[in-house]
Amino acid sequence: MVRQHEQPPPYPRGNGGRGRLKVFLGAAPGVGKTYRMLDEARRRADRGTDVVVAFVECHGRRSTEERLERLEVMPRLTRSYRGTEFTELDTDAVVARRPEVALVDELAHTNIPGGRYAKRWQDVLELLDAGIDVITTVNVQHLESLNDVVEKITGVPQRETVPDEVVRRADQIELVDMAPEGLRRRMAHGNVYAAEKVDAALSHYFRVGNLTALRELALFWLAGRVDEGLQRYRAEHGIGSVWETRERVVVALTGGNEGETLIRRAARIADRATGGEVLAVHVARSDGLADASPAALAAQRRLVESLGGSYHSVVGDNVPRALLDFARAENATQLVLGTSRRSALLRSLTGRGIGETTVELSGDIDVHMVTHEQSGRGRRLPVPGRLHSRGRRIAGPLAGLVTPFVLTALLSQTRGTVNLTSDILLFLVAVVGVALLGGVTSALVASLIASVLLNYYFIPPIHQFTISSPNNVLALVVFATVAMVVAAVVDRAARLSRRAARATAEAETLSALTGSILGGQSAVEALLARLRETFGMESVTLLHQQPVDSASLVYAMDREAVAHVGPRGTSGPEDPPGQASPEASEGQSVEEVPVGEDAVLVLRGRPLPAADRKVLAAFAAHVAVALDRARLAEAAAEVEPVKAADRMRTALLAAVSHDLRTPLAVALASVSSLRSQDVQFSPEDQAELLLTAEESLGKLTRLVDNLLDMSRLQAGALSLELQPTALEDVLSAAVDSLTETVPLAVRTQGLEQAPPVLADPPLLERVIANLVANALRHNGTDPVLVTASTLDSSVEIRVIDRGPGLPSADWDRVFLPFQRLGDTDNDTGVGLGLALSRGLAEAMGGTLTPENTPGGGLTMVLSLPAETTHHEEAQP
């Protein structure tokens, strides 16, 4: 027997032997999704394709019903629920019929309880698994990731949602678009809703602003999905060139004061194109970047994120290539750089800078060189030998061979004006310069050559290798010794400087990583994404592994992909669970790094140098901690319901000690007095005592009923019987049940015109009774107003009082059990009324929210699904 909420088979990653899914996506009800779907079906049928209509809702629209002609319509499954007959998709019948294509309307629809699945999209997955192509429809407000955004825009909560992943994995998504004005005209002509609903819909959900915002959401969501498909195609076909389908502006940050200027300029460039994106990147080099202030980078990161961009940090010895590799990996179209801070003289001495090299290598990426206040002012003293590592390996030995001869030629021209001491010091300076450029080996060669040249050209006798004066011998020996020692010290200092700079770059990378996690990103996915972009890998996969059996613990491991980050826009394991393979494609390297005892990181891409292993190990340690935290969070989530139940029991025992005893004591005293033989009561006194006992027992009954219903809600065992319910009848019964109130203190408005709601009548009576009683308690002498109005597919019941009101900060607290905000005594109940009312409303598929009453007071808004629209969604 399959349970109501059983999940369908796992969504496959490929389409071999599996049906294909096409989705017609709309921004709002009425744009024409079902009509377009039926048109598509008729075209396929005319081409000879076996097409059946598995489930389509026409909602009485003649133009849509005409599209069903010449199409085979499958019989529906009839299911009884709470005394009402509903029709649903008969999945088993469609699978048994095995058509080539099945039409299934309203992908986000919630099935009537009692079926195999809770949601229709789960039925669709079963049809796909059976090899049947499916064409379906869905509105953007039903996408899970946009649910809260749509509610903020329209003010209407969407109870029926579909996971984004289901729609995102569709083989085709086609947007059915319509301008807001056109949709409103279609609605005004009666082509979407019945005539009595048109005015309310146009003035609420279907306002021009709402429709424009929903349309923009649909366009952007689909654009993101198209971009993901494009990136996946580029990655699969090895396309490295930039395709300018969307403006992506990469801005390079050094940590200098010019960073904010560059970010704002990049943001302006991106804003010129709709959907432009800004990506700020800082390259942490192994030999360091002078004056890269962590505080400045942190401030610049906050700025770019406040402008809607993203911040990234990568490690690279070759800064121009690292920038361009990052830009091409992100399919960036433009790159923003600051002009050099070096002076013109320094640029002429040290050669091309990062900007000039980047422009030369940029290819099809536009490079913007932006001037700023720091241009040409310099930022550090010139460092001899600021060449690339390969250049230094060539220039160092060459300088060691050539420099002594050049200096000898120059000093030979000043013979007689410069003494021997000055000659030795100048040669010493030259040896130190060679040491900075080429290291200790080049300096040793230069010192030996310089010693020979000093002896031959400058120490008497000239042009002979003999030395006449012992002092000159000592001077030459001291020169050679000092030259070699200084060269060794300079070389060691340079190595330590590079090592310290490397540590700084690693610290900046880990700092950016920590910031991304603290910024609210998913820990494991954020770590993997940072890891991939930091080391420039093609993909990073986290695998959970466990030994197949104890005898083959080392070599036989069962691996399951936990998370995967690949090229931009792709996520999720590339291989099915248990089949994740670490093998690399041609030209790629695979690195495996253990993560704790039961997981491993698999990196595919370029070979990693040994210097990167330490940072990689730090990433692995962070991933291990993130996995442990996730497991602890899951364990804590499992314990939380038990803790909540314990808190509920504690609060219940503390609250009922007085509230149960008081009505019991009053009722017992009244009955005892009536039974007493010592006192003779008059008929009036007896009636008063009986009334007192009745009222006390009535309070006690309501209190016990509330406690029992709250317990059922907490345990999920509340039984519902949803059926069409007239609000006027329920309100009358609710007011009559309040024996301590006067019915004349309640006024109604609009209840007769409101359509029936789908609710459980006794529970709805309890909810309204609690709301009215709460309003009467705080309303003073003014009557409580109860109104009803239709909004989209819901009916809103408002219970309005003119009491002191409630601060918005306490709106959430008022629905907690055992809260009596504003009450000064314990005689009015245990504070379960509003908590129980919200719980019952949500159990019936509705909501209960407070809002301020204009002019003072509190309004409780109870929203319930209208009975006429419970089993349908508006389509054209």
Least confident of 338-352, 358-372, 552-566: 552-566
Q: Which amino acid does the sequence have at 265?
A: R
For 359-374, the three-class secondary structure string (H helix, E strand, C coil) is HHHCCCCEEEEECCCC
Closest Cα partner for 93 from 76, 118, 114, 70?
76
8 A C-beta contact, residue 599 and residue 627: yes
8 A C-beta contact, residue 250 and residue 281: yes
Instruction: List Cβ neighbours of 367 (8 Å cut-off, separation of 6 or more).
Output: 334, 335, 336, 337, 355, 358, 359
Q: How far apart are the first and last CA of the chain?
A: 38
Planar angle of CA 340, 346, 349, nearest 5 degrees: 120
Closest Cα partner for 871 from 712, 758, 766, 778?
758
What are the structure tokens assigned to 103, written together? 């039409």
Instruction: List Cβ neighbours of 736 (8 Å cut-off, separation of 6 or more).
Output: 743
Instruction: List Cβ neighbours of 368 (8 Å cut-off, separation of 6 or more).
Output: 265, 269, 334, 335, 336, 337
Omega before 743 cis (within 30°)?
no
Give 459 or 569, the one with higher predicted confidence. Answer: 459
Report the length, in residues, of the chain. Answer: 876
Share the mean pLDDT of the chain: 75
Planar angle of CA 622, 626, 630, nearest 5 degrees: 175
DSSP 385: T
How many CA within 13 A on the CB side of residue 795? 28
pLDDT over 90 for what percent of the chain? 9
Which of helix, strand or coil describes residue 337?
A: strand
d(CA 517, CA 534): 15
pLDDT at position 592 over 90: no
For the ranges 622-631, 654-663, 767-776, the maximum mean pLDDT occurs at 767-776
- Residue identified by tokens 């019989």 is 75
Q: Residue 622: which pLDDT band, with cuts at 50, 70 and 90?
A: confident
Planar angle of CA 194, 196, 197, nearest 5 degrees: 70
d(CA 282, CA 677): 95
The average pLDDT across 722-731 equals 86
**Which tens digit of pLDDT belongs to each residue from 629-645?**
777 877 777 777 667 66
What are the structure tokens assigned to 312, written together? 């990234």
What are the structure tokens assigned to 548, written together? 């197949």
d(CA 633, CA 639): 10
Q: Looking at residue 137, what is its pLDDT? A: 93
Number of H helices, E strands in the chain: 25, 24
8 A C-beta contact, residue 250 and residue 330: yes
pLDDT over 70 for what percent of the chain? 71
**Which tens digit of pLDDT belongs to each residue from 439-474?**
777 877 888 888 888 878 887 778 777 666 677 677
What are the structure tokens assigned to 9, written together? 């088979």
d(CA 290, CA 255): 9
d(CA 837, CA 705): 12
pLDDT at position 553 over 60: no
Which of helix, strand or coil describes residue 4?
A: coil
Q: Residue 552: which pLDDT band, with cuts at 50, 70 and 90?
A: very low
What are the structure tokens assigned to 494, written together? 């340079």
The CB density around residue 100, as the number of other CB atoms within 10 Å, is 15
d(CA 656, CA 233): 65
d(CA 467, CA 460): 6
Q: Is the pTM of this model over 0.85?
A: no
The average pLDDT across 46-68 equals 86
Which stretches within 660-741 are classed as H helix? 661-675, 683-715, 727-737
Give 603 or 739, the one with higher predicted confidence. Answer: 603
d(CA 835, CA 830): 11
Q: Which amino acid does the sequence have at 315?
A: V
pLDDT at position 830 over 60: no
**Which tens digit of pLDDT belongs to each residue from 375-399?**
655 444 333 334 335 666 788 788 8
d(CA 400, CA 862): 88
**Which tens digit of pLDDT belongs to each residue from 277-312?**
889 998 876 544 444 667 788 888 888 888 888 888
**DSSP characters for 128-139?**
HHTT-EEEEEEE
- For residue 452, count CB atoms less than 10 angstroms from its CB and return exposed for 0-12, middle for 13-18, buried for 19 or more: middle
- Residue identified by tokens 């704790």 is 596
- Residue identified by tokens 């059983």 is 6
The average pLDDT across 90-117 equals 90
Closest Cα partner for 352 from 323, 319, 380?
319
Q: Looking at residue 107, what is its pLDDT? A: 92
8 A C-beta contact, residue 533 and residue 312: yes
φ and ψ of 68, to 5 deg:
-80, -15
Least confident of 102-106, 181-185, 249-253: 181-185
**Which tens digit of pLDDT belongs to each residue from 700-714?**
776 677 666 666 655
**Which tens digit of pLDDT belongs to each residue from 424-441?**
888 888 888 887 777 777
Instruction: List Cβ neighbours of 439 (8 Å cut-off, separation of 6 or more).
Output: 396, 491, 494
Q: Residue 573: which pLDDT band, with cuts at 50, 70 and 90?
A: very low
Which of helix, strand or coil describes residue 107?
A: coil
pLDDT at position 687 over 90: no
pLDDT at position 829 over 60: no
Cα-to-chain-centroid distance, residue 377: 42
The CB density around residue 184, as the number of other CB atoms within 10 Å, is 20
Give 494 or 18, the one with higher predicted confidence. Answer: 18
Q: Looking at residue 101, what is its pLDDT? A: 95
**Which tens digit of pLDDT belongs to each residue from 139-157?**
988 888 887 788 888 877 7
